[in-house]
Chain A
Amino acid sequence: MGRMRTLAYAVALCMATAGAAMAEKPFEGVELKMLGIGDTSVTRLAPIVGEFEALTGAKVQIDMFPYPGLVDKIIIEASSDSPSYQLLWVDSPWVGMLGEAGALVDLTDLARRDAADIKLDDIIPIQLQENTWQGQLLAFPASGMTWLNQYRADLFENPGEQAAFKAKYGYDLAAPTTWDQYRDIAEFFTRKKGENAGGKPLENDLYGASQSYSRVQGAITHDYFPFMRSFGGDYWDPQTGLCAMTGEPHIKAAEYMKSLIPFNPPDYLGLMWDIQSGYMERGEAAQAAYWSVRSVRLTNPAEARLAEIGKAGFAANPTDGGKPEPTYTGALSFAINAKVSDKEKEAAWAFIKWSTSEDLMRRFATEGNGVSQFRKAILADPDLQQKYPYYKVLLDSQANAKRRIFHPFYQDVEETFGVELNKFMAGETATAAEALTTACNAVNSRLKMFPVETRLRWINDVPAKVLAD
């Protein structure tokens, strides 16, 4: 009898323990796969997904691919009736494309429900807006970007360089506030191997600037569009919803980019983001107007030689004539495939909450892997600002910011403008006006099949419902 009682207690204890474990690990047995990018917003996370499994029971596998071609995989995944990936990495301009196709779960209600948990108030509003389509939150920021100015602070602060610059251009050498200054600085620092820079002979050629001019995956448009906006241009005609990138600011921006070519590396037509940022990371470019997604690397000696041989500086990007223009932002985000089951959806949302939490972001930053941030608390932290000088620029410049393009025809725009602008930069097309008109006409020939009401709806940036309360 006594043995029976002991056995009964043991069984009851086992069941209770198992029950508790089940309660602690609500997603035991769930397997999630993420279609992601091989860049900072994911590479920091991938090695530690086991921690999420230990917490929730859900097993996560992250497949990482280069940016070129990633959107193609996501579109194929989204159009499949039996998708392989529950979690999708999304660059914010894709939101309209994927949103109009109904490919992503609307996260508005989930974010509202868990607002305290995810510290919704701590997220820079434009970073949430970046991820909305028609007011619905379709992705959650995992990394928040701005297009900022990165420069060789060690050269800019060198007294010899400062004196020589002032003698040549008549004003002080500092982070530029106008594009004319940016070009002057680019010209000033373009030097050959063996010449002096910062009082030391150069081991390699030094280029005054490093911009993306490649047509691959429309890389050139990722620089051209911010240039164009900083010149006061916009994408669409607000009356017709058609492409309007043929005006004066658009032409000036394209011509300005072309005027920077003599100060860029000779292989400028092949400059993709990784190659472009590589010049800064090796200390072979004096400055680059570039996305903050890789800024963290510039201060990390394990990832960039510049951290050893010099010093990176950061500033908001110049504008045309120094006129105030909104900062050009972007978000690299995580989304949930619309075709997942309810259980997978909850598990995927739990993963998004965990992977974008302030705790994890702070941990990355403390460990030296601070991803480009979207959380105010982290960007405003004085210790972290000291460690990552670009955090202050990110925080300050987003007080006046405007989101990137978010149109359902984004990929058509990116590819068409990518090719036409690349041809202009290569000298195949005579004028910027001709290149831009060709690109706009190609995009409009497709858009014109839709009624004007639809076109206007597509360009209307409806405020995020999640921010409405």
Chain B
Amino acid sequence: MAYQATRNRRIFVLFLLPVVAVLFLTTIYPMLYAGWLSFRNYDLAKPFIPRIFVGWANYAEILSSGTFLHALVTTLKLMAMTLSIQLVLGVGIALLVTQRLPGMGVARTLLLIPMMISPVIVGLVWLFLYFPELGYLNYFLSLVGLSGVGWITTTTWALWAIAIADIWQWTPFIMMGTAAALHSLSPEPYEAAMIDGNSRWDVFWRVTLPQLKPVLISLMFLRAIDAFKIYDIIFVLTKGGPGDSTEVLSMFIYRESFTFWRMGMGAAASFVSLAIITVLVTFFFKSLNRDRSALE
């Protein structure tokens, strides 16, 4: 019996090994290496600069850098813009597509398409739409007599242009999660609310939304992590410009690592970014747990 248990444990470990090896090679080792790099003065393009240990100097430089602070603020601004609109639109569309109306099944499937496209392709699609001289959006505006907008070439519009592309791609994610949650809601509270003579708005506000809250927090939490790391769409559309109006944290890290080739600085900035995400995640989890406790 004991022999069998030991044998099973060995087989269990044996089967786990490939996964652990892959995880180590693709996640743990690069992370440890990045950690090591973040304490070094490592410039890939300038091998004549000694690649020495510099302690916390890279972290200190990042945290005192106005460019980093600006990138952090821009990231948070973009997160606020995209998440709030995605939440409202996602819940609204979910309420619509869960109605028993003809064509809703097809609509639901079509709405999911943007989510399945690679962000680089999404960026390219929107580049064709936004392109100053030849873009479709300005063409359509000209058809109704409006002058074109410098979607990605003016500091006024560029961040909104990024936000619109992100909203288009990820609103279906909120919609899908919310629709699934709506299907699983218990009908009793609704029946009670109807008997009490509540309006549809009251039912939504006082019955549906409180029940959806834990799901919405989870969805927003996942989206927040993604939005914090947004890179591909910005790289394709604006590369952080014009000026520094769309320079988010990921672009800051990219520039430090692959334009200035300061790999140590790039690695340190990545860890600072990771720390901020960790704080966000902790905050969301605590908030989620508080809601669960309240519901129980």
For B44, what are the chain A residues with a Cβ–Cβ distance below 8 Å?
Answer: 75-76, 79
Q: In whole angstroms, how far apart are the Cα atoms of A102 and B47 in the complex?
A: 9
Interface residue? A422 (CB, 8 A): yes
Contact of B153 among A100, A101, A270 (CB under 8 A): A270
B:256-279 near A, CB below 8 Å: 258-261
Interface residue? B198 (CB, 8 A): no
Interface residue? A97 (CB, 8 A): yes
Interface residue? A244 (CB, 8 A): no
Interface residue? A365 (CB, 8 A): no
Q: How far is the CB of A348 from chain B (nearest CB, A)?
A: 22
Q: In whole angstroms, how far apart are the Cα atoms of A216 and B46 in the complex?
A: 22
Q: Evaluate whether A428 and B155 lie within 8 angstroms (CB atoms) in the complex, with A101-B46, A215-B239, A215-B243 already known.
A: yes
For B289, what are the chain A residues with a Cβ–Cβ distance below 8 Å?
Answer: none
Q: In whole angstroms, how far apart are the Cα atoms of A76 and B257 in the complex?
A: 12
Q: In whole angstroms, how far apart are the Cα atoms of A408 and B49 in the complex?
A: 11
Interface residue? A267 (CB, 8 A): yes
Q: A207-234, CB under 8 A of B: which get 1 and which 0?
A: 0000000111000000000000000000
Q: B24-54, CB under 8 A of A: which get 1 and which 0?
A: 0000000000000000000011111100000
Closest to B239 in A: A216
Interface residue? A415 (CB, 8 A): yes
For B150, what are the chain A residues with a Cβ–Cβ distance below 8 Å?
Answer: 266-267, 269-270
For B152, what are the chain A residues with a Cβ–Cβ distance below 8 Å?
Answer: 270
B259 touching A100 by the CB < 8 A rule?
Answer: no
Interface residue? B242 (CB, 8 A): yes
Interface residue? B133 (CB, 8 A): yes
Q: In whole angstroms, how far apart are the Cα atoms of A157 and B285 in the complex?
A: 72
Q: Evaluate whether A266 and B242 lie within 8 angstroms (CB atoms) in the complex, with A100-B46, A411-B259 already known.
A: no
B45 touching A79 by the CB < 8 A rule?
Answer: yes
Q: Evaluate whether A72 and B258 lie within 8 angstroms (CB atoms) in the complex, with A266-B150, A268-B153 already known.
A: yes
Interface residue? A265 (CB, 8 A): yes
Interface residue? A392 (CB, 8 A): no
Q: Evaluate whether A215 and B46 lie within 8 angstroms (CB atoms) in the complex, with A72-B258, A265-B132, A270-B150 already known.
A: no
For B153, what are the chain A residues with a Cβ–Cβ distance below 8 Å?
Answer: 266-270
Closest to A412 in B: B260
A269 touching B45 by the CB < 8 A rule?
Answer: no
Interface residue? A426 (CB, 8 A): yes
Q: How far is the CB of A72 from chain B (nearest CB, A)?
A: 6
Q: How far is the CB of A66 from chain B (nearest CB, A)?
A: 12
A79 touching B47 by the CB < 8 A rule?
Answer: yes
For B245, what are the chain A residues with a Cβ–Cβ distance below 8 Å?
Answer: 426, 428
A:371-414 near B, CB below 8 Å: 408-409, 411-412
Interface residue? B240 (CB, 8 A): yes
Interface residue? A419 (CB, 8 A): yes
Interface residue? A339 (CB, 8 A): no
Interface residue? B255 (CB, 8 A): yes
For A101, what are the chain B residues with a Cβ–Cβ distance below 8 Å?
Answer: 45-48
B244 touching A411 by the CB < 8 A rule?
Answer: no
Interface residue? A427 (CB, 8 A): yes
Q: Evaluate whether A415 and B242 lie within 8 angstroms (CB atoms) in the complex, with A265-B132, A267-B150 already known.
A: no
For A411, what are the chain B residues with a Cβ–Cβ distance below 8 Å?
Answer: 45, 259-261
For A408, what are the chain B residues with a Cβ–Cβ distance below 8 Å?
Answer: 46, 48
A:76-94 near B, CB below 8 Å: 76, 79
Q: In whole angstroms, how far apart are the Cα atoms of A39 and B47 in the complex?
A: 30
B261 touching A75 by the CB < 8 A rule?
Answer: yes
A265 touching B47 by the CB < 8 A rule?
Answer: no
Q: In whole angstroms, how far apart are the Cα atoms of A422 and B258 in the complex?
A: 20
Contact of B132 among A270, A409, A423, A427 (CB under 8 A): A270
A427 touching B155 by the CB < 8 A rule?
Answer: yes
Q: A290-306, CB under 8 A of B: which get 1 and which 0?
A: 00000000000000000
Interface residue? B148 (CB, 8 A): yes
Interface residue? B241 (CB, 8 A): yes
User: Which DSSP category, helix, strand, loop or mixed, fits chain B's interface?
Assistant: loop
B-side interface size class:
20 to 34
B242 touching A215 by the CB < 8 A rule?
Answer: yes
Q: Evaluate whether A97 and B240 lie within 8 angstroms (CB atoms) in the complex, with A75-B261, A267-B133 already known.
A: no
B260 touching A269 by the CB < 8 A rule?
Answer: no
Contact of A100 among B48, B240, B258, B260 (CB under 8 A): B48
Q: In whole angstroms, how far apart are the Cα atoms of A409 and B49 in the complex?
A: 12
Interface residue? B154 (CB, 8 A): yes
For B255, what are the chain A residues with a Cβ–Cβ distance below 8 Å?
Answer: 415
A419 touching B239 by the CB < 8 A rule?
Answer: no
A:91-119 near B, CB below 8 Å: 97, 100-102
Q: How far is the CB of B288 from chain A (nearest CB, A)?
A: 39
A415 touching B260 by the CB < 8 A rule?
Answer: yes
B243 touching A265 by the CB < 8 A rule?
Answer: no
B:106-131 near A, CB below 8 Å: none
For A214, what are the chain B residues with a Cβ–Cβ distance below 8 Å?
Answer: 241-242
B243 touching A97 by the CB < 8 A rule?
Answer: no
B260 touching A423 by the CB < 8 A rule?
Answer: no
B259 touching A270 by the CB < 8 A rule?
Answer: no
Contact of B241 among A215, A265, A275, A449 (CB under 8 A): A215
Q: In whole angstroms, how far apart are the Cα atoms of A423 and B244 in the complex?
A: 7
Contact of B45 among A75, A216, A267, A429 (CB under 8 A): A75
For B132, what are the chain A residues with a Cβ–Cβ distance below 8 Å?
Answer: 265-267, 270
Q: In whole angstroms, how far apart are the Cα atoms of A47 and B140 in the complex?
A: 40
Q: How far is the CB of A35 from chain B (nearest CB, A)?
A: 15
A:136-164 near B, CB below 8 Å: none
Q: How far is the CB of B43 from chain A (nearest CB, A)?
A: 9
Q: How far is the CB of B209 from chain A (nearest CB, A)?
A: 40
Q: A252-280, CB under 8 A of B: which get 1 and which 0?
A: 00000000000001111110000100100
Q: In whole angstroms, how far apart are the Cα atoms of A101 and B46 in the complex?
A: 6
Contact of B242 among A97, A426, A429 (CB under 8 A): A426
Among the interface residues A76, A215, A408, A429, which one has the most CB atoms of the partner chain B within 10 A?
A215
Closest to B255 in A: A415
Closest to B66 in A: A438
For A102, what are the chain B residues with a Cβ–Cβ distance below 8 Å?
Answer: 47
For B259, what are the chain A residues with a Cβ–Cβ distance below 8 Å?
Answer: 72, 411, 415
A:60-82 near B, CB below 8 Å: 68, 72, 75-76, 79
Q: In whole angstroms, how far apart are the Cα atoms of A456 and B271 in the complex?
A: 36
Among the interface residues B240, B243, B255, which one has the most CB atoms of the partner chain A within 10 A?
B243
B148 touching A266 by the CB < 8 A rule?
Answer: yes
Among the interface residues A101, A265, A266, A269, which one has the most CB atoms of the partner chain B within 10 A?
A269
Listed in ascending order, the chain A residues whose CB lies under 8 Å from chain B are: 68, 72, 75-76, 79, 97, 100-102, 214-216, 265-270, 275, 278, 408-409, 411-412, 415, 419, 422-423, 426-429, 449
- 10 A-B pairs with CB atoms under 8 Å apart are A72-B259, A76-B44, A79-B47, A101-B47, A214-B241, A267-B133, A278-B133, A415-B259, A422-B243, A427-B155
New A-B contacts (10) at CB < 8 Å, excluding given A419-B243, A423-B243, A427-B155: A68-B239, A75-B44, A75-B45, A102-B47, A265-B132, A267-B154, A411-B260, A412-B260, A422-B243, A428-B245
